[in-house]
Amino acid sequence: MRHSSGFTLALAGFALLTCGDAIIKSMAGLWPATAIAALRFSIAVPLLASFVLASQGKAALRVGKPLIQLGRGISIAASSCLFFFSLFLLPLAEATAIVFASPIITALLSALFLREHMRPIAWVATFLALAGVAMVLRPNLAELGIVAFLPLVAAFFFATMMILNRLAAGSGSPMALQWALATVAAPILLIVAFAGNISGAEQLSVGWPHWSVVLRCAIVAVTASTAHWLIYLGTTRGTAADAAQAVYIQLPVALLIDALLFRHFPDALALGGSLLIICAGLIMWHNQRRMLGAAAR
């Protein structure tokens, strides 16, 4: 029952995350991705702090395991910034499909750092996922080059955060840990945005944003913080690899949003690659479930 509730919470979190991604994509060309990521987390810090103070008191802000919190913040900062860039360059559904590799990466990292044994079938799933990623990347790689790999790198950092979420369990309340995440990520992203602004690159130049950009960033700050909180609860009430499987709710949500709002319809090969990645993730999930069942006997 505990594993089931963890999966349901993560499912809701990932679905909400995709809605926020659509809002981010709607800002393409209006402001740099670095600045959007920095503003999104900067808004989240006081909002989360206010919620924690009002509901749990000042003591709740003193979270433990500072090095783990630092790692969580760095991971989500890198993942968010890279994924925001990819949303500006790739269709929402295709960028989302590539991020579906994160459960495979999470399982690999779980085996490496959490000592969760990987069976041969897990390696088969890994190769299937990589083949699916290649199919989805196919048209974009020819057009964009190496930058088309941005969502894959973002998936790696997101998987790292999932592992660190597991290690952070017990170091604070779920909402306080979300505040700690944003508190670390915000200054990192502000530095990245400032560096981009002084670099001279036109696409990284940070001017004064339109009010609608600020409003959309505020909406994403609320929805994304809520989503990451739900995902965190999912990882602590189950296994990191188990909760990661909920990411697949993002594909139908992303496809629907892409069709209705951005008028983009992926070709058959891209859809086939997406399904291959999902199959790989489901194989990995089934493998993890069998391992848990064997350990319980």
Residues 281 and 198: their CA atoms lie apart, in Å, by 41
Residues 41 and 186: their CA atoms lie apart, in Å, by 5
Total count of domains within the chain: 1
How does residue 1 score in pLDDT terms, banded at 50, 70 and 90? very low
Residues 231 and 241: their CA atoms lie apart, in Å, by 12
pLDDT at 27: 93
pLDDT at 243: 67
Closest of 223, 246, 229, 237 to residue 14, by C-alpha: 246
Query: Whole-model pTM?
Result: 0.77
pLDDT in tens, 109-136: 777 766 666 567 767 777 787 788 778 7
Print the domain residue range for 55: 2-296
Assigned token pair, 54: 């009002």
pLDDT in tens, 247-276: 777 777 888 888 888 888 777 887 888 788
pLDDT in tens, 19-71: 999 999 999 889 999 999 999 999 999 999 998 999 888 888 889 899 999 99
H-helix segments, the chain: 2-25, 33-56, 66-89, 92-99, 102-113, 120-144, 150-168, 174-198, 211-236, 240-244, 250-261, 268-296
pLDDT in tens, 175-192: 898 899 999 999 999 999
